[in-house]
Amino acid sequence: MVASKASATAVPMGARRDLTLVSRRRVLVLASTFPRWAGDTEPPFIFNLCRSLRHAFDFTVLAPHAAGARTIEQMDGLSVHRFRYFWPAGAQRLAYGGMLPNLKRNPWLWFQAPFFMAAELVEAIRLIRSEDIDVIHAHWLLPQGLVAAIAGLLTGRPVVLTTLGADVYGLQGKWTSRIKRWVLRRMTRITALSRDLAQAVEGLADSEREPVAVIGLGVDTHRFKSRRDARAFRAKLGLNGPMLLFVGRLAEKKGVRYLLAAMPAVLAQHPNATLVIIGDGPLRGELTLQARDLGLGESVRFLGARQAKELPNFYTAADAFAGPSIVAAGGDTESFGVVFAEAMACGCPVVASDVGGVSDLVKHERTGLMVPQRDPDALAQALCRLLEDEGLARRLRRNGRAHVKRHFSEAAIAENYETVLREAAA
């Protein structure tokens, strides 16, 4: 399966080789985004992926330590090790909450980066040898991909790299691009969350190799589904009108400022509408001030970060989900957008910006509505359209859930990763 670098290919859903007779493999997962403890609000997508593959592999996860987290523990059948990279523990602030936003907010954290990579590399090599690891699975091109490439060279283990977006779209520069190319050339297999991201990766790779496998993020469609108690949940929130919803980090690329800018036009048509914002991040203070300056009052509610188990209630209760993502100043943008898939799985119609890999999920007029980025007027019109056209909203709910169940269920995504990991280990 060799192709030119321009031919990013999606792994066919439901189609894989018969690998059931292959012996059980041991996988070392390198990640900088992983739950620090039970009920953590950090995105759990890597944890969920590993958990859905426990039937096929033995996983050891290596993630950064954080104050209050255990250095070694078992989490739902996964062996989790957390490496310390700075002292005291409370000073470790490079990871969690987004490494790029953390560095942008506090440039002094660049001082911790060499210690972070050195500590991760030393611990990775130790675990590869002590746990008899067969294959390394690194999430993020930098820094995990670089650590995995060096560890792979030193131990002879194959490496699978999953690129997630900011690691490719962001961190632009001559020397950074050289490091990225060096890492990519040393990967056994590479996956990307979307076709757009895969094309960006293959443009960086600058060599003939196997095409990048396009594998999105999986959604637990048994948990993320419509719930009968939606009205009761809305009443609990104290809402007596339409509910609009945003879920995600309050960071530049999420474009929440444009959603707030759209709200006066929405309220002109639907005065009782309320925008509920779930999530936290570096722009929360700025966005709160913007909402106040726009005179939005109680029409916007910032509820902060919530645990993943709480989200289905919000998705089900909402009349529409808004994801106004943009291409940020540094080039970073939405590579996939698992919150869109979660909302669609719950039967919530979505409005999204046409950037990055969002179009893999949101098909205009079929599974959702697409609008240009940075356009509050278009965003307001699309949201009002969903609130006023029940036939359209019903069709998008039905098509959106079917699309996610068919292409982005946890089972389908896990099956594709199982194929990639087994082939790399072999």
Quote the percentage of the chain above a pLDDT of 70: 94
Same domain (yes/no): 327, 195: no
Question: Which tokens sit at 54?
Answer: 């426990």
Whether residue 20 is predicted with pLDDT greater than 60 in this model: the reply is no
- As for how many domains the chain has, the answer is 2
Q: Residues near 295 by Cβ (< 8 Å), separated by ≥ 6?
A: 264
The verdict on 99 and 122 lying in the same domain is yes
d(CA 280, CA 41): 10
Mean pLDDT of 157-184: 90
176 with 66, same domain: the answer is yes
Q: How far apart are CA 286 and CA 288, in angstroms?
A: 5
> Beta strands of 309-384 (E only): which ranges?
320-323, 350-353, 369-371
Is 95 inside a domain boundary?
yes
Mean pLDDT calculated for residue range 343-360:
96
Strand order in the sheet with 243-247: 300-304, 274-278, 243-247, 320-323, 350-353, 369-371
d(CA 317, CA 230) in angstroms, rounded, equals 5
Percent of residues, the chain, with pLDDT higher than 90: 81
Residue 302 predicted with pLDDT over 90 = yes
- Whole-Å CA distances, 301 to 5, 6, 219, 237, 261: 46, 44, 26, 10, 15
Residue 223 forms part of a structural domain: no
Residues 200-241: tens digit of each pLDDT? 998 887 666 778 999 999 999 999 998 777 888 998 999 989
320 belongs to a structural domain: yes
Residue 5 confidence (pLDDT): 37
Task: Please give the pLDDT value at position 124.
Answer: 98
274, part of any domain: yes
pLDDT of amino acid 175: 87
Are residues 265 and 205 part of one domain?
A: no
> Is pLDDT of 13 > 50?
no
367 and 413, same domain (yes or no): no
What is the structure's pLDDT at 2? 32
Determine the structural domain holding residue 324 and report its residue range: 230-407
Same domain, 74 and 107: yes
In whole angstroms, what is the distance from residue 214 CA to residue 208 CA?
17
What pLDDT is recorded for position 208?
62
Stated length of the chain: 426
- Residue 177 domain-assigned (yes or no): yes
Q: What is the pLDDT of residues 72-92, one digit of tens each?
A: 999 999 999 999 999 999 999
Asked if the model's pLDDT at residue 40 lies above 70, the reply is yes
Co-location of 112 and 239 in the same domain: no
How far is it, in rounded angstroms, from Cα 222 to Cα 230? 17
pLDDT at 19 over 90: no
Residue 7: the pLDDT is 42
| Calpha distance 71→252 (Å, rounded) | 32
Would the pLDDT of 16 be above 70? no
Q: Whole-model pTM? A: 0.88
Q: Is residue 213 part of a domain?
A: yes
Mean predicted confidence (pLDDT) in 40-68: 95
Q: Residues 403, 414: one domain?
A: no
Coil vs helix vs strand at 277: strand
Q: Is residue 235 included in any domain, yes or no?
A: yes
Do residues 136 and 263 both lie within one domain? Answer: no
**Predicted pLDDT at 15:** 45
pLDDT of residue 206: 63
Q: How far apart are CA 351 and CA 84, in angstroms?
A: 41
Note the pLDDT of residue 11.
52
Q: Looking at the domain assignment, is residue 174 inside a domain?
A: yes
State the SS3 of 152-214: HHHHCCCEEEEECCHHHHCCCCHHHHHHHHHHHHCCCEEEECCHHHHHHHHHHHCCCECCCEE
State whether 395 and 279 are in the same domain.
yes
- Mean pLDDT over 295-319 rounds to 95
Which uninterrupted H or E stretch holds 80? strand 78-83
For residue 296, the domain's CATH number is 3.40.50.2000
Same domain, yes or no: 208 and 237: no
How does pLDDT run across 117-165, given as a tens digit for each residue? 999 999 999 999 999 999 999 999 999 999 999 999 999 999 999 999 8
Ramachandran assignment for 99, one of left (phi > 0), alpha (psi -120 to 50 degrees), beta (any other): alpha
Mean pLDDT along residues 7-16: 48
Mean pLDDT rounded to a whole number for the chain = 91
Question: Are 399 and 417 found together in one domain?
Answer: no
Q: What separation in angstroms does the CA of 269 have from each of 3, 264, 293, 380, 392?
A: 52, 9, 20, 10, 18
pLDDT value, residue 426: 86
